[in-house]
Chain A
Amino acid sequence: MSSTEIERHSYDVVVIGAGGSGLRAAIEARARGKKTAIISKSLFGKAHTVMAEGGAAAAMGNVNPNDNWQVHFRDTMRGGKFLNNPRMAELHAKEAPDRVWELEAWGALFDRTKDGKISQRNFGGHEYPRLAHVGDRTGLEMIRTLQQRVVALQQADSAELGDPEAMIRVFAETTITRLVKDGTGAPRIAGAFGYFRDTGRFVLFEAPTVVLATGGIGRTFKVTSNSWEYSGDGHALALLAGADLINMEFVQFHPTGMVWPPSVRGILVTESVRGDGGVLRNSEGNRFMFDYVPDVFRAQYAETEEEADRWYTDPDHNRRPPELLPRDEVARSINSEIKAGRGSPHGGVFLDIASRRPAEEILRRLPSMYHQFIELADVDITKQPMEIGPTCHYVMGGVEVDPDTAATDVPGLFAAGEVSGGMHGSNRLGGNSLSDLLVFGKRAGEGAAEYVDSLSGPRPAASAASVDAAVAEALAPLERAEGENPYTVHGELQQTMNDLVGLIRRETEVKQALTELEKFRERAARVSVPGGRAYNPGWHVALDLRNMLLVAECVAQAALERQESRGGHTREDYPAMSAEWRKVNLVCALTGDTVSLTRKPLPAMRLDLLALFETAELKKYMTEEELAGIAPPSAPSADAVSEEGH
């Protein structure tokens, strides 16, 4: 095999990512008659979605019939501190129930209510029990169901066309390193270039559409709940192809990651522990969250432990426990307690369900948390409290897309799932990702199929020069005889981002991070790896560095620019939320080799959606000027009423 030999495949739609969003997109594209490839860095069925625990948020109203899309929409906007793209939040709230029900028709087995419907659980920021779940392994159920749906489609194709892979094929353990564009005329997507991990051989997928469904960026940070796959590949591929990223300053630090032993630091402890009755305590035994309810949420949260405890059984007449505030609030509060010297022995705080629920209920509702703690930390969560602290979990920022079609500004390029931006504003509510994957995965598959149908004339073709450049770029770390170890560069980058652009940010530190990133870029350009191309993780890390550095640069630049605190962006030097800044989206793009930052107005909320909120609440977020432009809230508009119950 010559070192630059390239295997070629031709498809209508190439989906990069086999998590919830990628699989849902591929299923949709295939359903619309498009020949579809699914590409994934790991084995089929192992994508990050498999790790999701708590559930998928959808206003089905199975447990509390008062729930509907309007309530879900309101919760989502509040959680995101009104920085969400309102159209995305609207589509998400309206379509999530249908997307969840569809999974059931494909074989998913959710936990049930007494009357045989899908059971729904409480979660932070959701007014009603809303998360469809299977114990605490909902992501596994979701990915397996979608995986088995892909298999079912392949079986149908096998029967009809004689080849299971005639219309939809999975390329597992295959990494895309570049998107390629048309050499002539308007720059359209022409395909994707990458390598097979097992052999190291290069591959070019020729296709007029690419759907990015690559997930997040957590591997850029030291303490994270994310796996090696989360090196921000899709974010970087989009930038390199000329698309924009928005909201990159907003990184979610989940309040409850494991803190001990050191080797498991960062691994997630699901929010369901709190949804099911668990409470947070400091070293003095106090439920400190009562001291941290911010003004904007004061009306919705309990003021006493008694009221909070009554809420679990009588939610209609009591307010929610403050442990269930949105994640950014809880993470910051935990951080403050630890800083004030009231932390647990290993630098976290206590999460206690043992004293609050009977052992058998804990075992039934939280089996994998029980398993995780007993096996990894020697802690029996039915008897002892857990020690937890914030961990980098999710990126709200991502590729800017059209809400209805998931299209980016680059013709032929689409994005869905965690890699896309806008839906969650400055902070994502728990459970809103799994539903996001389904809603916008489907829309991306639809958007890509429609784009393929709209094409006339010859298909875009990858320019030879861009393919040659991709080959050279991929081979570089192997060809350098001497250079630094890529694992070392990665480890230090993670530490830097954790220390300087983490949960709490300061101007001086973020500036320092930007200086450090410059040095990391120089080091990354000089790394060298031993061994050959066949399944060589050292080589893989070396190639991922480019992506992590681009993403880190976007996060740091945007974090420096935004002089306020909101959701997943907390500036110690600008602790307040600013109504002026709410109107602004920060946009990252690539000019030559450098990341540039521009401001863009946040898309406005339609009047009928604004009417879902009381003026008093909007006042907490919006400028006088904006409020003056809004008619006094009247009854929900005809549109909103007629769509109720969809």
Chain B
Amino acid sequence: MGYMAALKVWRGDAGSGALTDYKVEVNEGEVVLDVLHRLQATQAGDLALRWNCKAGKCGSCSMEINGRPRLGCMTRMSTFDPADTLTITPMRTFPVIRDLVTDVSFNYAKARSIPSFTPDPSIKPGEFRMQQEDVNRSQEFRKCIECYLCQNTCHVIRDHAENEAPFAGPRFLMRVAELEMHPCDEADRRDIAQDDFGLGYCNITKCCTEVCPEHIKITDNALIPLKERVAGHKYDPLVWLGSKISRRPAKAGTPAVPGKR
């Protein structure tokens, strides 16, 4: 095949920027990232973009393609009509550094605010015993490649910078759920999920799930179950006595949120 695609690529920095028109060659089987690389190598040597693996494994090449949050390396050119112009912009929720590269430090700050894995200190390395069925849930969440497309999409923060402080976003609420469901974790993060990470802001619209390139069922498998646990814990502890959560030893406490004054 091989044709010339019309591209509008956002070029600029924190100060200012604009969509810039380019014509770039496209060959059989290529993805958007290939075309951007060709643009970079032949016409725009200083075009800033991130990538690493080119196989959907590292979560570096997040961008918005025709307004849809996507991985550049997993978006085939064949899914677009060759006659149409492709518009490529940086993720909207995060501040632009340059061109398609954004400042994603918000996410690293949130990652650092969640109390870490807390195993029973008496279990020595090599002595952990867990059944596959008990780790399946958390394993699903650990497929996350930290592309932050869900964070970029969630309406709670997409156009509401003021919510960035009280809300951790789907990726990190999912991290809380992952630790809660880890069969060997002993901390209880239910109160802080609500009070510090803003679980209540989520109104289960599932937009995060829709954009997840790893097809993780963020809302159904992480956020809703976490909400149920929090609700049960906060308002109706008896309901939870016989359920999974009560298998946690009574001594488990709620850890302090790191860095919180």
Closest Cβ neighbor of A163 among chain B residues? B259
The answer to whether B29 and A51 have CB atoms under 8 Å apart is no
- CB of A481 closer than 8 Å to a CB of B: no
Which positions 155-200 of chain B face chain A at CB distance < 8 Å? 179, 182, 185
Our pick among B45, B97, B112, B142 for the contact of A164 (Cβ within 8 Å) is: B112
A623 within 8 A of B: no
Contact call A535/B48, Cβ cutoff below 8 A: yes
B41 CB within 8 Å of chain A: yes
Contact A229 B258, CB 8 Å, known A116-B130, A262-B28: no
User: Which residues of the other chain, B, contact A51 by a CB distance below 8 angstroms?
Assistant: 52-53, 55, 57-58
Tell me how many residues of B have a C-beta within 8 Å of chain A. 63
Mask of B84-117 contacts with A, CB within 8 angstroms, 1/0: 0000000000000111010110001001100111
Say yes or no: A537 contacts B115, CB within 8 Å.
no
B90 to chain A, nearest CB (A): 11
Q: Does A599 make an interface contact (CB < 8 A)? A: no
* One of A69-77, A247-255, A371-379, A442-450 at the interface: A371-379
- B210-230 CB contact bits vs A (8 Å, 1 = yes)? 000000000000000000000
> How many positions in chain A have a CB within 8 Å of any CB in the partner chain?
68
Which of B13, B27, B46, B103 contacts A538, CB < 8 Å?
A: B46
A227→B52 contact, CB < 8 A: yes
Is the CB–CB distance between A261 and B138 below 8 Å?
Answer: no
A148 vs B259: C-alpha distance when bound (angstroms): 16
A77 to chain B, nearest CB (A): 26
Among B52, B132, B142: residue with most chain A CB under 10 A: B52
A537 and B115 alpha carbons, distance in the complex (Å):
36
- In the bound complex, do residue A111 and residue B53 qualify as a contact, i.e. CB atoms below 8 Å apart? no
Partner of B116 from the list A43, A104, A116, A148 (CB cut-off 8 Å) is A148
**Roughly how many angstroms separate A631 CA and B162 CA in the complex, as a whole number?**
76
Residues of chain A lying within 8 A (CB to CB) of residue B27: 262-263
**Residue contact B57 to A50, C-beta cutoff 8 Å:** yes
Mark out the residues of chain A between 5 and 64 whose CB falls within 8 Å of any chain B CB in the assembled complex.
42-46, 48, 50-51
In the complex, which of the residues B28, B138, B143 contacts A140, with contact meaning CB atoms closer than 8 Å? B143
A51 to B40 CA separation, bound complex (whole angstroms)? 24
Q: A148-B116, A155-B115, A376-B55 are in contact. Are A263 and B182 (CB under 8 A)?
A: no
Q: Which residues of A contact B58 (CB under 8 A)?
A: 42, 46, 50-51, 227
- Asked if A107 meets B117 with Cβ closer than 8 Å, knowing A263-B31, A485-B45, the reply is yes
Q: Are B29 and A137 touching (Cβ within 8 A)?
A: no
Chain-A contact segment, one of B16-24, B120-128, B201-209, B239-247: B120-128
Task: Check B13 against A534 for contact (C-beta < 8 Å).
Answer: yes
Is the beta-carbon distance between B119 and A105 smaller than 8 angstroms?
A: yes
B76 CB–A CB distance under 8 Å: yes
Known: A97-B126, A151-B111. A158 touches B45 (CB 8 A): no
A141, B142: Cβ atoms closer than 8 Å: yes
* B234 close to A (CB within 8 Å): no
- The residue from B115, B129, B182 contacting A109, defined by CB atoms under 8 A apart: B182
Cα A490 to Cα B116 in complex, Å, equals 43
Bound-complex Cα distance A140 to B145 (A): 8
Given contacts A105-B125, A261-B30, contact A44 B258 (CB under 8 A): no
Q: Which residues of B contact A (CB under 8 A)?
A: 13, 27-31, 34, 40-42, 45-60, 74, 76, 97-99, 101, 103-104, 108, 111-112, 115-117, 119, 123-126, 128-132, 135, 138-139, 142-143, 145-146, 179, 182, 185, 256, 258-259
Q: List 19 A-B contacts (CB under 8 A).
A: A50-B57, A51-B55, A101-B125, A104-B128, A106-B117, A107-B185, A109-B135, A116-B129, A116-B131, A144-B142, A148-B116, A261-B29, A264-B55, A368-B57, A485-B45, A487-B45, A491-B41, A538-B40, A538-B45
